[in-house]
Structure 1
């Protein structure tokens, strides 16, 4: 089964909507609560990063017999220094995003923490791709 959601740049009014729909769908499929929590965290953090940092992107979730794979793709500025971006507390969020309570610099570290496998690739002026896998 595949779930697909488009996420728009600066769409703070709908931020969290895709991850909420993903969580509800997985709940209906009787996915274990612990797995569900990890997927909810991963997809929420990814969605917020798309809203704050990209020019728009997508979240694709593949529900497989032994795992859930999440692919996040965006077009945008890319991440200049991925190692630095993975540091807890590091953020390039705008003052506006911070005023709204976002941009604490925990998004990427949280995504990695809740994933069994995590891969991030980014190219300046092209965008960023993230793959997360949560095993059952």
Structure 2
């Protein structure tokens, strides 16, 4: 099953929509609750990152019998130093984003922690692509 969602940069009221929809589908498929939790946490963090840092993004989801593969592709400023961005607590979030309760610098580390496989590529002034795989 292949699904696609669009993320609007700056629209925090819609952040988490894709994660919520995927959670419902995985429950209907009878996937283990702990596995669903990990997938939803990673997806939510990725959605919030796009909303907070990029102009727009796409989430591509491929649900197979033994795994879910999620790609998040955004158009935005990119990440100049991925190694630094992967450190817990490091954040480039604006003051406005932090005042809303986001931007604590835990997004990328939480995504990695909650996925079985995690890949990230980024080009400055172009965007970032995340690929997450969780096995059932």
| Secondary structure in structure 1 of the residue aligned to 2:51 | helix
Match of 2:23 in 1: 23
- Post-superposition shift, 1:18? 1.7
Moved more, 124-133 or 58-67: 58-67
Moved over 3 A (4+): none
Q: Contact between 1:3 and 1:22, CA under 8 Å: does it hold in 2?
A: no
Tell me if 1:134 matches 2:131: no
Structure 1's unaligned 5+ residue stretches are: none
Q: How does 1:82-97 map to 2 (within 5 A)?
A: 82-97=82-97
TM-score, structure 2 as length reference: 0.97
- Post-superposition shift, 1:2? 1.1
| Secondary structure in structure 2 of the residue aligned to 1:22 | helix
Distance 1:119 1:80 in 2: 16
Distance 1:43 1:94 in 2: 21
Distance 2:3 2:13 in 1: 21
TM-score, structure 1 as length reference: 0.97
Structure 2's unaligned 5+ residue stretches are: none
- Post-superposition shift, 1:50? 0.6
Q: How does 1:61-80 map to 2 (within 5 A)?
A: 61-80=61-80
Cα-Cα RMSD: 0.8
| Secondary structure in structure 2 of the residue aligned to 1:112 | helix
- Post-superposition shift, 1:31? 1.3
Distance 2:116 2:21 in 1: 22
Distance 1:15 1:71 in 2: 16
Give the paired residue count. 136
